[in-house]
Each structure stands twice: as structure tokens, then as C-alpha cells.
């Protein structure tokens, strides 16, 4: 494929998804308030888009461009975490299923009465902040399955894990997220103790 055709395809098929890439990067690095984090997210999105442009000959027209971009974003993020001195991705082994189950024991049966109403009272920033309580892999799972609405098979392919892992992880992560939101909900009296 010549450069002109690659450029045309990039702007037609890939460019429209840059907002989804940036949104995912923002949630991953929790870029809500801090200008430095906002720039980090933009840099990550830029790197992803540039890598996509460089790999246009590998993109099959007719396939899901967003899914392809998410795979590139995932790899770019992993490379950045590997080379950074600071935050390391937390392995799932460090946060086993039992942790989530234990944590929910503090909830009573009626704690989350009308859960949708309670959750809708949280701002997007609150939700993004709560997602930072999850490990990198967990965050990716909820980002792909719940935020971007990919099906579990697609998420499994992007994260390179079996579908069964995505299924169990999705359920466990939603539980963990709920648990992370619980103290805030109580503090703001969305939930009465």
C-alpha cells in the first residue's frame, strides 16, 4: 500500500476513533484534574494514533478499527509502564477473588437499595477516581467490556486472556468498584448506614 492510500485509509477509518482512544487513555491514567496527567493521557493517545498510522498496512478494512486501536493502546500503555520508574501494573495475583468477596461483607443487604439511582448520583470523575482502586488489568477489563461496550470475546482477544477469565474478572471487578464507591456514597449520604 502506498503512502497516499495509507493516509487516506487512516483518516477515513482510524481518525474518527481518536476520541475513544483519548477517553480510554484518560481513564487509564486518571487524567481528570491534574494537567500533567491530562498531558500524559494525550501523549499516550498520540503514540497510539502514530503507531496505528505506521501500521496501516496491517489493518484490514472492514474489521473493527476501534478494537484494533485498543490493542495498540494496550501495548503502548504496557511499554510505558515497563519503562517508567513509578507505578507498576499490579498483577491480578495480588488481588485475588477473595479480596472482593471479603470486602463486600461490610455491605448489608439493603446497603445498595436502588443501586442505579445511587450510582447515577456519582459524577464521571468520581467513577474514574474509583477505577484507580483497581489493578491495571482489572481497569482494562471494565474499560473494554462496560465502558466501550465490547463483547467479552473481543475483550479477551485484546487482553490476550481466555474468555472465562474475562467473565469472572468482569463480575469481580464490578464488585470491587462498588466497594470502592461505598465509603464515598456513605460520606455523601447517598447511602444511609
Residue 7 in the binding site for another protein (CB under 8 A): yes
Nearer to another protein, 95 or 177 (CB): 177
- Number of alpha carbons in the 13 Å side-chain half-sphere of residue 171: 8
Stretch that binds another protein, among 1-9, 56-64, 69-77, 152-160 (CB under 8 A): 1-9
Q: Which residues, 28 to 67, sit near another protein by CB under 8 A?
A: 39, 42-43, 45-46, 49-50, 53, 66
Say if residues 146 and 139 touch (Cβ distance below 8 Å): no
* Cβ 163 vs Cβ 153: under 8 Å: yes
Number of residues that bind another protein (CB under 8 A): 47
Distance CA 49, CA 69 (A): 8
What's the grid cell of residue 32? Answer: 481528570
Q: Give CA–CA dist 67/71, Å, rounded.
A: 6
Which CB atom, from 88 or from 121, has the smaller least distance to another protein? 121
Instruction: State the Cα–Cα distance between residues 116 and 169, nearest whole angstrom.
Output: 21
Question: What is the rounded distance in angstroms from the CA atom of residue 90 to the CA atom of residue 112?
Answer: 28
By CB under 8 A, is residue 26 in contact with another protein?
A: yes
Query: Cβ 40 to another protein, closest distance in Å?
Result: 12
Q: Closest by alpha carbon to 68, among 48, 84, 96, 44? A: 48
Interface of this chain with another protein, residues 66 to 125, rule: CB under 8 A: 66, 109, 112, 115-116, 119-120, 122, 124
Site for another protein in 123-152 (CB under 8 A): 124, 127-128, 142, 145-149
**Residues in the site for another protein, rule: CB under 8 A?**
3-4, 7-8, 10-12, 15-20, 22-23, 26-27, 39, 42-43, 45-46, 49-50, 53, 66, 109, 112, 115-116, 119-120, 122, 124, 127-128, 142, 145-149, 171, 174-175, 177-178
Amino acid at each position: 500500500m502506498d503512502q497516499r492510500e495509507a493516509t487516506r485509509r487512516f483518516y477515513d477509518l482510524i481518525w474518527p476513533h481518536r476520541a475513544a482512544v483519548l477517553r480510554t487513555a484518560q481513564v487509564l491514567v486518571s487524567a481528570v484534574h491534574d494537567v500533567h496527567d491530562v498531558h500524559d493521557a494525550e501523549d499516550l493517545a498520540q503514540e497510539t494514533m502514530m503507531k496505528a498510522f505506521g501500521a496501516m498496512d496491517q489493518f484490514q478494512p472492514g474489521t473493527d478499527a476501534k478494537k484494533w486501536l485498543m490493542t495498540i493502546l494496550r501495548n503502548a500503555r504496557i511499554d510505558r509502564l515497563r519503562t517508567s520508574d513509578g507505578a507498576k501494573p499490579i498483577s491480578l495475583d495480588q488481588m485475588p477473588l477473595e479480596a472482593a468477596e471479603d470486602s463486600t461483607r461490610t455491605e448489608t443487604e439493603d446497603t445498595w437499595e436502588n443501586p442505579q439511582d445511587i450510582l447515577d448520583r456519582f459524577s464521571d470523575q468520581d467513577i474514574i477516581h474509583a477505577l484507580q482502586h483497581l489493578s491495571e488489568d482489572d481497569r482494562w477489563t471494565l474499560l473494554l467490556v462496560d465502558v466501550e461496550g465490547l463483547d467479552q470475546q473481543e475483550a479477551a482477544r485484546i487482553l490476550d486472556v481466555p474468555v472465562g477469565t474475562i467473565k469472572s474478572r468482569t463480575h469481580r471487578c464490578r464488585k470491587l468498584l462498588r466497594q470502592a464507591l461505598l465509603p464515598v456514597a456513605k460520606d455523601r449520604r447517598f447511602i444511609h448506614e
